[in-house]
Structure 1
Amino acid sequence: MAAVPVKKIDPKAFNLKEQVVSINRVTKVVKGGKNLSFSALVVVGDPDQRVVGFGTGKAKEVPSAIKKGIEAAKKNLHHVNTVGSSIPHVVLGKFGSGAVLLKPAPEGTGVIAGGPVRAVIQAAGIHNVLTKSLGTHNPHNVVKATIAALDQLRDKAAVAELRGLAVENL
């Protein structure tokens, strides 16, 4: 599949909400003892505009690690194609040994998802979806696989253009 050029999305144009997915305490052993630091995985998104992104931050204290993660996530925003309050089609996103299956769901189903997947789906503003996390349970890989799955979503106009057909003929 050909690489799709990525347009930079300006974070100032959105009302972004952030959610911390995981915080990890990291210890580096050095000659003088142990250096303690924290790593934070953060998801940001604007549910009304269907924009979502993720970022990681590392620092000596938790609040500054979260702040760095939010800044990194704002630089990594993705637009999500939806149909109403669900997704247009079934999609499987993979990253590393993690995979996330997303299925459209009828109105009123809600978000059927586990921790990291739920954070990304809610930040993207999708209200009805069925998900299954396959493979690893590592939050970093699961979040990246979910973003990869959301990037694969196409609307009818894009599919019609790829196939060289009119939208009515699909």
Structure 2
Amino acid sequence: MPDTAPAPTRTDDAQQTVAQDAQGGPAGARRPAGGDRPERGGARSGSGGGRRERGGRRERRPRERQRQEFEQQIIGIRRVTRVVAGGRRFSFSVAVVIGNKKGKVGVGIAKGTDTAASIDKAVRDAKNNLITVPMTEDGTLPHEVRTKFASTELVIFPSKGGGLRAGSAVRTVLEMAGVKNAASKILTRSKNKYNNARATIEALKLLRP
């Protein structure tokens, strides 16, 4: 009687199939782990791109340079010491000349603990003391003037076509006023620039068109 081999059992295959069904199908049909993460990452990148786009839309406007109405020049800075009960206190005294070179000029002086603050105060003081200088068409003075301020005595007279012949703070004041042809002479030995500038202002006040 021939031997009959037992029929092969498919228990292992069935178990493997059941395991695949429990895991959601064969390995090839499985969803990648964290399948939603790339979408979230894509949304983030998109939002980042939107931010860059919004940032790119911003246009920087060039700052308009404001032209100053008056030019200014410092004619003197002094360090002042005051002795008080608690000791010594230091401050700065600044003298400034401002003008538009079109007939307006002023001199100011101020004190402060800081040079920058003192300059600002002096400029404000000069603006409060502006005067208008009458001039002829060729940029000279209409007539001669003579004045005295403190220890400074000077004379200013017109000079047609001779240029500006003046020194020290007198020249600075005349330049800021826009005077192109004039001459001056200090009759005293005063070397105080502020007094010389103030004397020039007092002399220009005496001009009549």
TM-score, length-normalised on structure 1? 0.78
Residue equivalent to 1:10: none
Within 5 Å, which residues of 2 pair with 1:74-93?
Answer: 74-84=127-137, 85-93=139-147
Matched, 1:94 2:148: yes
Q: Which of residues 110, 119, 126 is equivalent to 1:57?
A: 110
Unaligned segments of structure 2, at least 5 residues: 1-67
Residue equivalent to 1:145: 199
Residue equivalent to 1:66: 119
| Residue 110 (structure 1) shift | 2.0
Q: What CA deviation, in whole Å up to 9, does each residue of 1:15-57 have, x standing for no partner?
A: 2111111111100112333211000011111112x01111111
| Residue 140 (structure 1) shift | 2.1
TM-score, length-normalised on structure 2? 0.64
Output the CA distance in 2 between the equivalents of 1:113 and 1:36.
34
SS at match of 2:154: strand
Which has the larger strand fraction? 1
Matched, 1:104 2:141: no
Q: Which runs of 4+ in 1 moved over 6 A?
A: none
Residue equivalent to 2:73: 19
| Residue 68 (structure 1) shift | 0.5
The root-mean-square deviation of aligned C-alpha atoms, in Å, is: 1.3
| Identity level (%) | 38
**Structure 2 letter corresponding to 1:149:** A
Q: Which of residues 169, 179, 187 is equivalent to 1:116?
A: 169
**Structure 2 letter corresponding to 1:102:** I
Moved more, 55-64 or 24-33: 24-33
Output the CA distance in 2 between the equivalents of 1:57 and 1:97.
20
**Structure 2 letter corresponding to 1:19:** Q
Output the CA distance in 2 between the equivalents of 1:56 and 1:98.
17
Q: What CA deviation, in whole Å up to 9, does each residue of 1:89-120 have, x standing for no partner?
A: 1111211221121111122x221111210111
Structure showing greater Rg: 2
